[in-house]
Each structure stands twice: as C-alpha cells, then as structure tokens.
Structure 1
Amino acid sequence: MKKLSGVTVAALTPLTEDGTRVDHGAINEYVDFLIQKGVHGIFALGTTGEGLLLTVEERKAALESFIKAVNGRAILIAHCGALRIEEVKELLDHAKSSGADGAAIVSPFYYKYRSDEIIEFFSRATESVKDFPIYLYNIPGLTGNWITSKMANQICKKNPNIIGIKDSSGDLLHVLSLINDTPQDFEVVVGCDRAFLTVLQMGAKGCVSGPAAVFPEFFVKLYEQFKRGDVEGARQTQRKLTKVSLALGDGASIPMLKTALKWRGLKMGGCRTPLKLLEKSEQEQFKNSMDRILEEVDLNW
C-alpha cells in the first residue's frame, strides 16, 4: 500500500484557453515538470485542481490522463470528494479501477453538518471500496465543517481503508491533535506551507501544497534537509519557501498559480468559470512582485 510522504503537490488542471475543456495533452508535460523537480506525490483534481468545478465525466477523464502521465513515477492520489455520496462512490470506484494509488475525500460542504452526520457521510461513501487507501480531507475554511481527531478515529473504525488525513486548517493545535490522538499508523499530511518544517517536526508525514505545484524546489530541498537531520539548513529553506508561497497568494488563487506556471513555460490555459485569469494590469503587478521575490531567494523562473 502506497502512502503519502514528503512533498505532494496539489496539482493544477490544464484547461483550454477559454476554460471550457480539460487540456489532456498539457497534463503530460506538467507531470514531467513536477517529477523532474523531485516531488514525491501528486494530488489530482482537488481544490487547486478545480476538481469541484468539473463534471464527473471530466474528472474521470482528467484523472486517467494524470495516471497515464505519472506512470508509476510518483504516488498519485485522486480527489474524489463531492456533495452527493453517490458521486463520491462513483469517483472512488473509477479511481481504483483506473490505477490511482489512493484517493482523498473532502468533508461534506455547503450545509452545516453535525459530527455524526460527517462520520456517516464518510462511512457510507467508502463502504463498498476495499483494499484502496483513502485520505480524509479537512479544509474547514472552504467547507465550513471540521474533521476532528475524535471523528477521524470513529471513521477509521468503520472503514480501515481510511489511512490518513490531509489537513488544510492552518491550525497547528488541531494538526497536533490529529498526529497525537489517532493511531500511530494514521498518516497526517498538511497543507500549510509556512509551517512545513514545523509540522514535520511535530510528526506529520509531509505536505500537500498548491504553491509546491508551481515552485517545488524549496519544498523538496527542505524535506531532504529534514530527513538527513540538517534542521538549521531546513530553517533557512523554510524562510525562502515562505516568501515564495506568500508571493503566490499562499496558494489561495488558482489564477495566480496558473499564471506563474505559464511564466515557467507550461501550458495551463484558462480557469473554469466563474474563475478568471488575471487582468493585464494585475499580471504586471504580480510579475514584478514575483521577480523581486525570486531574485531575493535566488530562484529562477
């Protein structure tokens, strides 16, 4: 069973210029770029990948293109979250049969749910999938619903396929609870770039990052330094990583991330409506800011 560790990127999804279709041809070049930079995993069709803006059939086809492009060179996790349990089940079945290494499911969103309802959601969505690793995905800033360590424990008891969680809460005490108050083999990966080194020291297995899907260099370097015990070197790399991540809007803006990837020579196309690429004046301001930061941290486009 393959598990997430190290640097996993929250991959962008290349679209046509008008954002109406997935650009399957561009996925291969993008995946090659990421793997050549040394990333360990690719998290496809999640928040950064505009997964929830695509139809179920588009998500399936895009995932197949990501799987083909990765070709076993990194771990590939398919985000299969959706508002309706039936869609989650359909996406999970497809991810498993298509050859993904595992899946992730975001907590139910839009409505405010009680903890027992969230537990029921995950239990029912995953009950028919066996021998396939599944990660919970906690991003309460977007879903409005938290996955606590207590809830994670109850969900895992109902389905042992659920082996970990991607936490994007930004709350370090919450992350610490997920690490300490769940079984030792429960994997915690964190989507908070500014705390990457900190969460590794706390016991997290790695990160899942949007900015790392544009500039993987410092993420990979930091993880390698941490693994060989060079904590002071990792601290210095964290400073640079943080500056780059903040310049990219902390990963919150898909248009910014796609624009930056275009400047790195990759074909990303547009965004799925209602998202819009940056206006010309916004691009100029963003480029000036990025150029200054990259020069400061000694990193090239």
Structure 2
Amino acid sequence: MQNVFHGLGIALITPFKTDGSVDYDALKRLVEYQLDNGADFFCILATTGETPCLTKEEKDQITAAVREMVKGRVPILKYCGGNNTAAVVDEIKSTDWTGIDGILSICPYYNKPSQEGIYQHFRAIAQASPLPVVLYNVPGRTGVNMEAETTVRIAADFPNVVAIKEAAGKLGQVDEIIKNKPKNFEVISGDDALTFPMIASGAVGVISVIGNALPKEFSRMIRLEFNGEYEAARKIHHNFTELYKLLFVDGNPAGCKALLSDMGMIENVLRLPLIPTRIETKQKMNDILKKMRL
C-alpha cells in the first residue's frame, strides 16, 4: 500500500453551536475554506477534533458529513485508536470505511506499555485493517514514546502501515526513522512548529492545527520547501514562531478556535474539560496576525 497523505493535512476541529451541539454549517464552511486555500487532505476525529468528548452518534454523523462535503477531492484520514487493543481491533472490523482512505492510530496511552507491547498492539491493528494505517506517536499525550527502532520494525513487518505522524518533538528520532525506514514508509509531521525542519529532513507533509485557520500561508511554506526554496519557506516559518506557542498555551484546540472565531468562521465554543483560550492569549495572537497582515 502507498501513503497518499502528502502536503498540508488539516487536523480538523469540531465546531459547536452556542448550545454545545455540533455546528454542521460551520463545518462545511471550514472544509470549503481549507480546500480553497491549499489543504491536501483531512484528518478527522482526532485530538484537535475534541473526539474524546463526542458521542459515537456524533462521530458517525461527522464522518458522513465530511465525506459528503469532500466528495473525493482529497484523501480523508480517520482516527481509530485507544489503549485497549482488542477494542480498537473490534472497532476497525465493525466500522464502515467507505470513502475513507486511511486509519490514524495512536500509541496506547495511560497503560505505558513496553516497546514490545507497542509493537504487538500495532501488529494486531495492521492485521485487522482493510485500509492503510498511519501510526501516531505523541508521548506528550500518551506518556510513552515509540522509539525509532520500533517504528521501523512495524513498518518493515506490515506493508499496510504506510506512515507515521511523528510528534515526539525529537528531530534526531525523525532522522533515525527516515534513515532506516522501508522505501514505501513515510514520515508526517505532527507538530506545526517542527514542520519546517522535519520536511527539510525528508518528511512528506504535516497534520496541522494552524492549517485550520491559516491554510493558505502554511501550505505555501510547505510547497516552497518541496520546491527547494528554503529561504522563502524559512521566512514564513519564522513569522509563525510565536503563534505556534500561543495556539497551544491554553490547550488544543482552544487557540485555533479563537482564531477561527475572530475570523467569523465558528462560535468560540469547546466541550469541557477544555475551555476557550484566555483573552490575553487571544489578543497576542491577533497582534501577530496584524503584523503579518493576515
């Protein structure tokens, strides 16, 4: 299997109305806005989508809605993961994957398994999956880091594991994966702030939070890098440096939702335990965008 998730991937937020229900009109606006401004694929129902706070019915409805909105124009990567291997396998087997192009699955969180446990977890997922699998390594959320050796081992043993969303924040680990990986396995940045150096090292794209609000600018940086125009791409990267930090200081996707709310795209509503970003954080982000004339 080949990895089709290249370029700017959007870690799609879930917009809510003021009453807390899912805002499907806002979701359609977002999808069209992002497609019009450089999105190459969507990643749905993962961390940025506040998925732990969605019901199964809502997740099914969002999947159907996004599939209908996208209409095959770009690939869709859908999250399916957890810390109970058997439950994840059962979910994979019982889900209708029509119109979905790949499965994103996270390292088991909270349990803190060994590297062998991580390998066996993804072995079970790879054997059950009818679609290409993208691994997701994010130790800041899971409490365990999937070492480069384990990633490469999984990639070598299971051809349908086609990529990793790498968000460990360790460029040395990224280099080790890229150096030793099988030919058809690829690395995707899971961290907006490290996307520039990761693509320079050989990553093929990003699953982006900032791309929800600023897809045109972020996709331009990526395309410049792909074309070898590193100086121009670096300038965009440096313009965003402070914004990267502010987006996450009050939790994700609070910062991104604040930007989108100011743009008139969504209501600034999150589901508990997440709450909207602080006023001072919001003001700092707006000041940066004014300087960038965005």
TM-score normalised according to structure 1 size? 0.89
Superposition deviation, residue 12 in structure 1: 0.6
Q: Deviations over 1:38-62 (max 9, x none)?
A: 1111111111111223233332222
Instruction: Give yes or no for contact 1:60–1:91 (8 Å, CA) kept in 2.
Output: no
1:48 is paired with a residue whose SS is helix
**d(CA) in 2 for partners of 1:212 and 1:94?**
31
59 and 137 in structure 1: CA distance in 2 versus 1, 3 angstrom threshold: same
In structure 2, the partner of 1:8 is: 9
| Unpaired stretches in structure 1, ≥5 consecutive residues | none
In structure 2, the partner of 1:67 is: 67
Superposition deviation, residue 35 in structure 1: 0.8
Q: Deviations over 1:52-93 (max 9, x none)?
A: 232333322222212111112222100111232344235434
**d(CA) in 2 for partners of 1:57 and 1:120?**
30
55 and 89 in structure 1: CA distance in 2 versus 1, 3 angstrom threshold: farther
Q: Deviations over 1:168-216 (max 9, x none)?
A: 1111111111211211221100122222221111111011111222222
Q: Deviations over 1:151-173 (max 9, x none)?
A: 12332344321111001111111
35 and 128 in structure 1: CA distance in 2 versus 1, 3 angstrom threshold: same
Correspondence 1:1-301 to 2 at 5 A:
1=2, 3-19=4-20, 21-93=21-93, 97-130=97-130, 132-249=131-248, 252-268=251-267, 270-278=269-277, 282-283=278-279, 285-299=280-294
Q: How many residue pairs end up in the alignment?
A: 293
153 and 195 in structure 1: CA distance in 2 versus 1, 3 angstrom threshold: closer
Instruction: Let me know the Cα RMSD of the aligned residues.
Output: 2.1
**d(CA) in 1 for partners of 2:259 and 2:238?**
20
| Unpaired stretches in structure 2, ≥5 consecutive residues | none
| Code of the aligned partner of 2:151 | A
| Code of the aligned partner of 2:232 | G
**d(CA) in 2 for partners of 1:70 and 1:251?**
30
**d(CA) in 2 for partners of 1:119 and 1:60?**
29
| Code of the aligned partner of 2:160 | N
**d(CA) in 2 for partners of 1:217 and 1:210?**
13
Instruction: Give yes or no for contact 1:53–1:272 (8 Å, CA) kept in 2.
Output: yes
218 and 105 in structure 1: CA distance in 2 versus 1, 3 angstrom threshold: same
Instruction: Give yes or no for contact 1:11–1:210 (8 Å, CA) kept in 2.
Output: yes
Superposition deviation, residue 96 in structure 1: 5.5
| Code of the aligned partner of 1:214 | A
**d(CA) in 1 for partners of 2:171 and 2:116?**
24
Instruction: Give yes or no for contact 2:34–2:212 (8 Å, CA) kept in 1.
Output: yes
**d(CA) in 2 for partners of 1:251 and 1:70?**
30
